[in-house]
Amino acid sequence: LNDHYVHLAQKDGYRSRAAYKLLEITERDHILKSGMTVVDLGAAPGSWSQVASQKVAPKGRVIALDILEMLPLPGVEFIQGDFMEEIALSELREQLEGHQPDLVISDMAPNMSGIAVSDQARSMYLAELALLFAVEQLNLDGSFLVKVFQGSEFDSYLRDMRLLFKNVLIR
């Protein structure tokens, strides 16, 4: 409650402090551009979708997916479903209408248990699923932004990313 970014998010109308992570990355790396199609995996409560929709407007689109409910956002199409189930992924592919996204973003995190090894492993599993989706769905020059917790599986994940993408940056 005393966090500066929590107060700033409330003042600026963002749903959570996570908006500032994406704003900072976007300012530094210019990953969000007008007209892009963006898929936001694990989108709730919606702050990354909020930022993305503002940056890709007016001709771009944002499709958000989360197992949790998310209140509607202007310029964001929302699918409620479990990212690990084919039915949610099928609906997402249907929403894409045969188009390939320019950018896949994922700020997904599992419900935290407080057991660091377990939490990191479950986080990496979600990151691996997001990577698989990105590789299958992105257009040829597409980009992928994912939050991961560093731990025992991080180096292996980074190696995989470097095999699959031309440029890999750690922020």
User: How far is Cα 50 from Cα 75, in angstroms, rounded to an integer?
Assistant: 8
31 φ/ψ angles, rounded to the nearest 5 degrees: -85, -20
**Please, is 61 exposed, middle or buried when counting C-beta atoms within 10 Å of its C-beta (0-12, 13-18, 19+)?**
buried
Residues identified as active-site = 147
User: How far is Cα 56 from Cα 35, in angstroms, rounded to an integer?
Assistant: 5
Residue 38's contacts (CB-CB under 8 Å, 6 or more residues apart) are 32, 52, 56, 60, 61, 62, 63, 101, 102, 103, 104, 105
Place of tokens 């963002």: 14
